[in-house]
Amino acid sequence: MKIKFNYLLPVLLVTVLVASGCLSNKKAEPGPVPAGIFKGKFARLHVKPGTTTIDTLKADIILTLNAGGTFTVTGDTAAVHAGSKGKSTFNTTDYVVAFADDTYPATGKPAKVHLHGADYVYFYQGNILQMVANRDSISLRYDLKRTN
């Protein structure tokens, strides 16, 4: 006596169709380039070597992103984050942004964090802009909301 599994055929067909739809090589649609005035929190997280202790420094900042590809950082720039300005380049396909800060010192290590470098991953949807950069044992995080 042979057992037929005809009732599994529709399930197998649906599984193959769903799997083939997930395997397409389409690139994601590029997202919008953030522009406007964004206010919110900046956090610098540092893991002390040899420990699991995290030091956190925070500041309230204002990031202005202009459609022409320039930026300025203002707000609480007294201790943790430097006020800065320069050029920004958004890769809206890979969600990576590079900042070239005109105030970043040419030599030495700055005392405050500058919005500088090419390794910021960002998320932008609606009025929310989040950016993160990880460098050695330091993580820089921006949680901002568009105000205009």
Q: Please give the CATH number for the structural domain made up of 36-146.
A: 2.40.128
pLDDT in tens, 82-97: 999 999 999 999 999 9
36-47 and 96-101 as β-strands: parallel, antiparallel, unpaired?
unpaired
| Domain extent listing, the chain | 36-146
| Per-chain mean pLDDT for the chain | 86
Report d(CA 134, CA 142) in Å as an integer. 12
pLDDT in tens, 98-147: 999 999 999 998 999 999 998 899 999 989 999 999 988 899 999 999 99
> What is the pLDDT at residue 30?
80
Burial of 54 (0-12, 13-18, 19+ CB in 10 A): exposed
| Average pLDDT value for residue range 65-85 | 95
Calculate the dihedral angle through the C-alpha atoms of 140, 145, 147, 148, rounding to the nearest 10 degrees.
90
The structure's pTM equals: 0.79
pLDDT in tens, 9-39: 555 555 555 555 555 566 667 888 999 999 9
DSSP assignment of the chain: -PPP-GGGHHHHHHHHHHHHHHT--PPPPP-PPP-EEEEEEEEEEEEPTTS--EEEEEEEEEEEE-TTSEEEEEESTTTTB--EEEEEEEETTTTEEEEEETTS-SSS--SSB-S-EEEEEEEEETTEEEEEEEETTEEEEEEEEE--
